[in-house]
Amino acid sequence: MDHAVEATLTVNGREVRRRIEPRMHLVDFLREELGLTGSHIGCEHGVCGACTVRVNGQIVRGCLMLAVQADGCTVETIEGLSDSKELSSLQKAFHERNALQCGFCTPGMLMAAQDLVLQKQKVSREQIRAHISGNYCRCTGYQAIVDAIDEVINGKG
């Protein structure tokens, strides 16, 4: 049975129109239909944050939003924000401080971190830790991630 409905989304600045099964979640749509494999699937129940993407300027869990819910929305992914250089300060700080190991959490972590950067306020380490506490990293111990975000937001070297 075909329950697919037509939806139009703007993904990384480009309009895409697709027939989408209502049960398909947004991150599956990005990965499977658009080939944007930078957003990762870690738990599919909204805990790990690996699938974090930006919809209409807000970060969301790509596994907790259905693709059809994004009809008419602007969606931004790690690929788009890398190409636009919006993430370049965070990416540079993450690289220089080794704030990633396997890199599976990194796209989601960067999306969450950039959300804090965009608030344009000085923040404490505790606030940084709290802001990324919905993004699971099994490799790093989080400290280098906190250091990198701290550097970008608070200008610490």
**Site residues (CB under 8 A) for other proteins?**
21, 24, 31-32, 35-45, 47-48, 50, 77-79, 82, 91, 94-107, 110, 125, 128-130, 132-146
Q: Least distance in Å: CB of 79 to other proteins?
A: 6
Q: Least distance in Å: CB of 13 to other proteins?
A: 16
Helices vs strands, H then E, count in the chain:
6, 5
Q: Least distance in Å: CB of 68 to other proteins?
A: 15
Considering beta carbons, is residue 23 or 72 the nearer one to other proteins?
A: 23
Q: Least distance in Å: CB of 102 to other proteins?
A: 3
Considering beta carbons, is residue 20 or 72 the nearer one to other proteins?
A: 20
Burial of 136 (0-12, 13-18, 19+ CB in 10 A): middle
